[in-house]
Amino acid sequence: TRYFVDHRRVRVVGGQGGGGGHSFHSEPRKIFGGPDGGNGGDGGHVILKADRQTKSLSSVLPFYQGVHGERGGSKNCYGANGACVYVKVPVGTLVKEDGEVVADLTQHGEEYVAAYGGAGGKGNRFFLSNENRAPTLFTPGEPGQDRVLHLELKTAAHAGLVGFPNAGKSSLLRAISRARPAVAAYPFTTLNPHVGIVHYQDYEQVAVADIPGLIKGAHQNRGLGMAFLRHIERCHFLLYVVDLSVSQPWTQLQDLKYELEQYKKGLSERPCVVIGNKIDLAESRINLPLLKEQVQDRVIALSALRGDNLEELFLHLRELYDAYVKTEQSQGQSPVKW
């Protein structure tokens, strides 16, 4: 199953510079031709490049190295420079080193040199002087820069499905998109976030992330709480998924909002809708009016298993997306497009 990756630890090493050449010119009737060893080529850089077609860090490998420069040759021939290695990352990637942000790639095509290649060595021709007419000295190429970077995505998806384990988030994502997260009748089936794309007739695309289930005490890093809450922090609006078949389903919503608020103040106040899942069960039909009485937010009752009432969710999801786009444009920022 393909899943969404929003952070990576990457070691990047620049290419090593080529060594300097060591040779003396020789041809008939020219005995003392002098030194003609050329300089070595520079090593290639490792460059991170923001690409709007890349949506996840799943394609980023844990290690990259630039191409080494070639050695200097005779007849004053310089060695070729090593080619640069380009690593495509999503737009909105933060590059951190030792916990500090060193780059923020927010525009398509923006580049950041993650590791510089080493300088090429000097050939013996470089050391020719009036005092030394036959130098034998030449230098090796310098090693490339070696760094360990942490890549982190600022923007994961437009909407995040938030709920406790087994609330039906993965089933809902399968019903509204082509994403295929695992679905099973046990808690924590989803351990990594999945992103599904909801397509509309005017070719707009809304990205919905299936966030792994939270538990009480997630803000204290119980379970994998901090990792899951970090995904939610990057979503622009939230879809609270509540299991209507349990007794007092509104307590789930209160606990979820409490965990979000404890993690980051104001996170629970983002635009949202409450999705009452499993309406096909008899207990759910009894609990639905009780939930609407207790909750001020809009409640959409549906069945992810049977596909009941998904149209209302599609319409309201588009309303939330349009409101987000309008807000971003009014602030002079460009909204995230998928």
HEC string of 223-258 equals: CCHHHHHHHHHCCCEEEEEEECCCCCCHHHHHHHHH
Section 260-285 average pLDDT: 83
What single letter denotes the amino acid at residue 38? G
182 pLDDT above the threshold of 60: no
Residue 41: Cβ within 10 Å count: 26
Distance CA 253, CA 255 (A): 5
Q: Which pLDDT belongs to residue 187?
A: 45
Round the average pLDDT of the chain to a whole number and report it.
Answer: 82
The structural domains of the chain, with segments of one domain joined by +, span: 7-153, 157-331
Distance CA 291, CA 242 (A): 10
Q: What is the largest CA-CA distance in the chain?
A: 107
Say how far apart CA 146 and CA 151 lie, in whole Å. 16
| Rounded average pLDDT over 279-301 | 82
d(CA 194, CA 317): 18
Read off the pLDDT of each residue in 197-226 and give the average, rounded to a whole number. Answer: 68
Q: What pLDDT shows up at residue 216?
A: 57
d(CA 6, CA 298): 30
- pTM reported for the whole predicted model: 0.66
Looking at residue 179, its pLDDT comes to 63
Q: Which fold has domain 157-331?
A: Rossmann fold (3.40.50)
Q: What tens digit of pLDDT does each residue of 192-201 get?
A: 667 778 888 8
Per-residue pLDDT at 181: 56
∠ at Cα 336 (334, 338), nearest 5°?
Answer: 135
- What pLDDT was estimated at residue 113? 94
- The fraction of the chain above a pLDDT of 70, given in percent, is 88
Tokens of 38: 């050329």
Q: Spell out the CATH class of 7-153.
A: mainly beta
pLDDT over 90, % of the chain: 19
| pLDDT per residue as tens digits for the range 130-162 | 888 888 888 999 999 999 999 987 766 788 888
For residue 313, the SS3 value is helix
pLDDT of residue 85: 94
Tokens of 105: 């790639």
pLDDT of residue 134: 81
Residue 224 has a pLDDT of 47
Residue whose tokens read 């990594």: 192
Asked if the model's pLDDT at residue 233 lies above 80, the reply is no
Which tokens is 271 given? 């635009």
Q: How confident is the model at residue 55 (pLDDT cuts 50, 70, 90)?
A: confident
Give the count of beta carbons closer than 10 Å to the beta carbon of residue 184.
10
Would you say residue 298 has pLDDT above 70? yes
Whether pLDDT at 209 is above 60: yes
Residue 269 has pLDDT above 60, yes or no: yes
Q: Is the pLDDT of residue 220 over 60?
A: no
Tokens in use for 11?
Answer: 């070691």
